[in-house]
Amino acid sequence: MNNSRKVNFGIPKLEVLHQNDGSIIIKNIITPDEWPSNIILKLMHWSTKTPETIFLAQRNHSNLWEKISYIETLKKVKSIAYFLLNHRLSEKRPLLILSGNDINHALVALACLYSKIPYSSISPAYSLFEDDLDRLGKIKEILSPGFVFADDGKKFQKAISKLVPENKALVAKNPLNENYLIDKIVNQNLDVDLKKADTKPNDIAKFLFTSGSTGTPKAVIQTHQMLCSNISMATKAYEFIKEEPPVLVDWMPWSHVAGGNKAFNLALYNGGTFYIDNGSPNPNDFAKTVKNLTDIGPTWYFNVPKGYELLVTEMSKNTLLAKSFFKRIKLFVYSGASMPNHVFKQMEKLSVKYTGEKIFFSAAYGASETAPMTTMPTYRCNFPGNIGVPQFGTEMKLIPFGDKFEVRLKGPHITPGYWKDEIQTLKSFDNDGFFKIGDALKFHDKSNPDLGFYFDGRLSENFKLNTGTWVSVGAVRSKILNAFGGIANDVIIVGEDQEFLSAIIIPNIINCAQIAKLDYSINKQDILSNNKLKNKIIKILKDYKNKTESKSQYIKRVIFFSHKLSRSKGEITDKGSINQMAFILNRNSLVKKLYANKLKNIINI
């Protein structure tokens, strides 16, 4: 039985308008359900309706699940809010959260929302890596924080000293000031009678930092309306969530929009349970994710493609994990990078094996500036990449750009701009008020927009060959990554002002070793220089060339890159995805040597 698991989705209705200048306006005229002025109202709602339901859970030091109910969460949030209000914090003196996902992080963030104090969750790497302290200094210049939170005062001491005077840091352990220990504050004020702040839709809820290839941070303003309208859109799209509160097991960092807005708020908005996954999609931490998913079967699951790749590999040999994972799952969602076709198909096969049904596997598209969800499919796709149609109440403008379209967006979930950066804010909106997200899309079928769109690369990533031909980097990268199958974890496409394209392969050493018929524990360079692997790459490149219509998409030269990517230089994000522009900028000499044919183990066709 290969039918699809039946789940209910909201049905969009599109209005399409063709403009005289060649642009196309596509609007989803079905509006989302009414949303609250502050998502804290949902915490208060569930604290009354289902007070004992577990809202948050995390592993404790004994590796057991520590859990907190909705009513317990609200009591602690009020206590922390009472403390914060006494420190006169505001949008001009917000609170910064320096450490990663945990229950205390969530409580502090919710306390800020309760008391109308803007906050910003910062990537822990900014505080813990020496190279990133300068970036933290730039964040201080932009936000002028009045207080910080960190899980460990000693661990984050350097960052705390750099950011705030008098060690004004609320911490979970190793306090720099005994009066700022979070458990002490909660116990002192647990029964406080505190009135929720009167929040207006355009009040600032939080700041999210986004960086370009240079690593210069920008503070994206997130209003309460953005958070609430966007999660209302998501709930209308994921209609099945209303039938059963969602259960999430999620690692996505709360310093990023996907984890901190979409995943976390989806659970809160709908009275669900959020299990904080202390793992991540890298070999050192993935065993934790496996243990967590073996314990708890989610109903709604979100990950980046690399996470799914590790997951299908593990589930192929781990029956206990697979049975738990598929037991009650309704939907898989991915974003952040292209989904390799072989991973998509493996996930589908495993779904059928363990459930007898295909599970809806959906892309999602958005950015920090869109809160994030701005498109999604509401129909099952037989292959990866379709990002669906504009979300409920969202308007999309498509500007012709060669054989593709630049996409611009409008809706209640769009940011008003960047904090203390009027120039960048003005540049980011067109005369009609559409946000210029900087991406290209293409139709699945231009005659039928209801069939959705495909992401077609960042406009800033695209470049010209010396022939004057534009290269759509996103499209080439996706195609060649699929062609390589499991050989490559990722590829970087290069060739600006050159005669032809080349690719720098980030290898999957285990799969490369299997092709080379070698033990993957031996020296990496012995594996990557193996003739069996080299011949396999040559065959893939020739087959890819024969199937490719345009010379601007040929890959004539490749090389493996097996060194560690630099997080501090922006080459790899907290989500595990690679910033192509940052890599090329940092490794410019490597690219020059590649084109001069002066590197060992270059593969040419």
Mean of the per-residue pLDDT values of the chain: 92
pLDDT at 1 over 70: no
Stretch among 7-21, 39-53, 432-446, 469-483 having the lowest mean pLDDT: 469-483
Q: How far is CA 468 from CA 454, 474, 496, in A?
A: 25, 18, 10
pLDDT at 605: 87
- Position with higher pLDDT, 2 vs 343: 343
- 524-564 pLDDT per residue, tens: 999 999 999 999 999 999 999 998 877 778 899 999 998 88
Kindly state the average pLDDT of the residues 329-343: 88
Whether the CB-CB separation of 495 and 463 falls below 8 Å is answered with: yes
What is the per-residue DSSP string for 176-209? SSGGGBHHHHHHHHTT---PPP---TTSEEEEEE
What is the identity of the amino acid at 289?
T
pLDDT at 507 over 50: yes
- 120-145 pLDDT per residue, tens: 999 998 898 866 678 899 999 999 99
pLDDT at 215: 52
Sheet of strand 501-507: strand arrangement: 488-494, 501-507, 555-560, 603-604
pLDDT at 125: 87
Which residue is it, tokens 């080439």? Answer: 476
pLDDT at 211: 62
- 411-420 pLDDT per residue, tens: 999 999 999 9
% of the chain with per-residue pLDDT over 90: 75
Alpha-helical runs (H) found in 25-102:
40-49, 70-85
Q: Rounded to an integer, what distance in angstroms lies between the CA atom of residue 524 and that of residue 562?
A: 8
Q: Is 514 helix (H, G, I), strand (E, B) or coil?
A: helix
pLDDT at 595 over 60: yes
DSSP for residue 245: -
Stretch among 82-86, 231-235, 382-386 having the lowest mean pLDDT: 382-386
State the pLDDT confidence band at 14, using cuts at 50, 70 and 90. very high
pLDDT at 355 over 70: yes
% of the chain with per-residue pLDDT over 70: 98
pLDDT at 438: 92
Q: CA-based diameter of the chain, in Å?
A: 73
State the pLDDT confidence band at 391, using cuts at 50, 70 and 90. very high
Q: Rounded to an integer, what distance in angstroms lies between the CA atom of residue 71 and that of residue 101?
A: 20
- 172-206 pLDDT per residue, tens: 999 999 999 999 999 998 888 899 999 999 999 99
pLDDT at 214: 47
